[in-house]
Every structure is written in C-alpha cells, then in structure tokens.
Amino acid sequence: MESTQDILQAVLGLIAGLGLSAACGFRVFVPMLLVSIGIHADAIHVAPEFAWIGSTPAMIALGAATVLEIAGYYVPGVDHFLDLVATPSAVVAGALLSTAFITDIDPWLRWSLAMIVGGGVAGVVQVATVAARTVSGVTTFGLGNPLVATGELAGSTGVSIAAMVAPILALVLVVLVVAFLAWRWSKRRERAVTSAPAPA
C-alpha cells in the first residue's frame, strides 16, 4: 500500500508535468531545454528512462532548437509557418514531459494520463496562442505579432520554471494565463468584428 508521501509525490509530479505541458503550448523547446538543464545539474529528477534528456548532446540539440524557434517567431510569415508545425509538436512534447515527471504509478496509466491530459493541455494552450497571433495579425497587420511572441516566450519560461520549483504555483499560473489569453482573444475578435465594414 502506498504511503501518503508517495501519493503526494505522484500528485506533485502530475501537476509539474501539466505545468510543463502548458509551457510547451507557448514554446515547444523552451520547457524541454530548461528540464534538460535541470536534470544535467541534478537539480530535478525524472523517471529513469528519461534521464537522457539531461545528457550533454540532448542539451546542446535542445539549445540550438530553442534559439531557432525563438528567432523564427520574430520573422513575419515564418511565425505562421511555425504555428502549423508547433501544434502537433507541442502535444508530443507536452505528453513526453508529463510522462517524465509522473512517476510511481502503473506505466499504462502514466502514459494514458500524459497523452490525454498533458498532450491535451499543451494543445489547448497552443491553439489559444495561434488564435491570439491570428487576431493580432488581422488587427495590427502583423505589427503586434512580435509583442505576442515575447509574451509567449515569457509565459513558457515562467511557467516552466514554476512547474519545476513550485508545481502548485505553476498550476495557478497556467489557469491565469489561459484565462487571460481567452479574454484577450475574445476582445480582439469582438473589436475586429465591430470594425469590419457592414455588407452592402
């Protein structure tokens, strides 16, 4: 029979995984790089089969991918292309990181939770960011997209760090960020519809 401490550890691992999944919805590689650095520095611990994420080759590869991803979102046109690629990638990355942090439970249940909950959270956040960028592109002719990209980068970094250091705080941040994105998207959409010319 599992002790209370084991159950608490499993719950915190699940929450941390969800936070990192949400962060993957903002940027695919930022959370993975931060986790890689954390594992490499022995500051965080994941399931043994995911220790490779903290290897030096993985850290270098993730670092290069992170730089390219961040830079790409500041290039007009490239940001929309990256959104197409990032949506499925975010789901996979979210599921992967969730699985790495969910430990001490049945492997089948762990992968199921990671795919459904972790991948689902990453997908929802990613769709929200794509919608925000689309509305920004329409209402500001793309001029506001760098601001959106900066906000996404800050969100991904902040939520990732919180998920590893204070999982409960990360959960609160995820709820607040998703609520803010939904509110901002609805406001911009409403503004776009209001300012559209009436049909003849």
Q: How many CA atoms lie within 13 A of 7 on its CB side?
A: 4
Q: How many separate domains does the chain show?
A: 1
Model confidence at 156, pLDDT cuts 50, 70, 90, reads very high
* Domain extent for 122: 4-184
**What pLDDT score was predicted for residue 1?**
46
Model confidence at 128, pLDDT cuts 50, 70, 90, reads confident
Q: Among 11-25, 30-44, 161-175, which range has the highest average pLDDT? A: 30-44
Domain membership flag for residue 193: no
Domain membership flag for residue 195: no
Once rounded to an integer, what is the mean pLDDT over residues 98-125?
A: 84
Give the global pTM: 0.82
Position 38 pLDDT exceeds 90? yes
Domain membership flag for residue 191: no
Once rounded to an integer, what is the mean pLDDT over residues 7-28?
A: 86
Domain membership flag for residue 200: no
Report percent pLDDT > 70 for the chain.
90
Model confidence at 33, pLDDT cuts 50, 70, 90, reads very high
Domain membership flag for residue 8: yes
Position 115 pLDDT exceeds 90? no
Domain membership flag for residue 189: no
Would you report the helix, strand and coil content of the chain in percent, each value rounded to 5? 85, 0, 15
Once rounded to an integer, what is the mean pLDDT over residues 7-27?
A: 85
| Per-chain mean pLDDT for the chain | 84
Q: Which two tokens stand for residue 119?
A: 């991948």
Domain membership flag for residue 101: yes
**What pLDDT score was predicted for residue 93?**
93
What is each CA distance from 90 to 69, 117, 121, 183, in whole angstroms? 12, 13, 9, 22
Once rounded to an integer, what is the mean pLDDT over residues 129-153?
A: 82
Domain membership flag for residue 198: no
